[in-house]
Amino acid sequence: MNVDSHQLPPIEDEKDFEHLLKDMMRVRLKNSDGVLLNGTGGQAQYSIDVFGRDRDTLEWFGVQCKVKELGKKLTIQEITKEVAGIAGFNPAISTYIIATTAKRDTKLQQAAAALSTNQMQVIVWSWEDIADILKENEYRHVLMKYYHRFFVDARLMGNTVGKVITLQVGTDGRYISGYHLFIGKTTSHDPHFKNTYIIADMFSKTMDNFPVPAFESDIESAIRNRHDRKIIVRWINSVNIEDEVIYGDEREFYYSIPHRTLLEDFAMDEDSPEDSEETDEI
């Protein structure tokens, strides 16, 4: 799942925004039980909507949430007022975050730095900052919770999915050949090609499908070079194609085998009773 190219729309509901920041801080502070919403309507909140303690440093964090209508800005006066209001909060806050759905503003960041003291750091999180944090791997479950409508579980919907990767292959740790491959997989919903893996060489515009474990003959239409095909089929059988490649976060892979192993493979081919018309050299 790659959302880097998508702009997440700001959350418009104040309560939802507070809950979002609570869940984000639980990840940031590594403390799922020690991050809470502060009070209820009618109670004094001392400019804090969410507070919690960092599990590692034991420092206290406070968050003030500011939902802004489209085009509206957070002001320096608002920041100054909120920082002044935190004085009555107990325990003492070491890091105070003012989180807003408004756009990033350099003047606000400078004002926050100016309001910081040796006892408390003041930070402004704009919506761009929040969206960037949500796209980090450790916040993936928070992103899914609040933006699940952006994603489709292809395995449940019965769609074929895949992605383009870079694969460098060689022998004895030396990478000689590089490929841009599309690796995909059909699902169990497909009536003719259930759970079939797909491999395509994007530059050569060649493709094939294969089972797992794979054999050289399964990918010979996609990978024409016999030398590389022997290495790539071993790579396919060495990884979990679905979890590590298709649904994994990595897009660059490196794989080599001992040159002796490659020679043994070719020797076995020569001993095979089946004739081969391939003439690729090692």
Mean pLDDT in residue range 117-123: 96
Asked whether the predicted pLDDT for residue 181 surpasses 70, the reply is: yes
Q: What percent of the chain has pLDDT over 90?
A: 68
Instruction: Give residue-wise pLDDT tens across range 122-176.
Output: 999 999 999 999 989 899 889 888 887 776 666 665 566 889 999 999 999 999 9
- Domain annotation for the chain: domains and CATH numbers: 14-150 (3.40.1350.10), 154-271 (no CATH)
The b-or-e profile of 245-264 (16+ CB within 10 A means b, else e) is bbbeeeeebebbbeeeebee
Residue 155, exposed/middle/buried by CB under 10 A (0-12, 13-18, 19+)?
middle
Question: Is 147 buried (19+), middle (13-18) or exposed (0-12) by CB count in 10 A?
Answer: middle
At residue 3, φ and ψ (nearest 5 deg) are -115, 10
Q: pTM of the predicted model, to two decimals?
A: 0.56
Please tell me which residue, 263 or 3, carries the higher pLDDT value: 263
Q: Are 52 and 25 in contact (CB under 8 A)?
A: yes
**Mean pLDDT across the stretch 93-103?**
96
Q: Tell me which range, 3-7, 66-70, 87-91, 273-277, is most confidently predicted by mean pLDDT.
A: 66-70
DSSP bridge pairs for 7: none
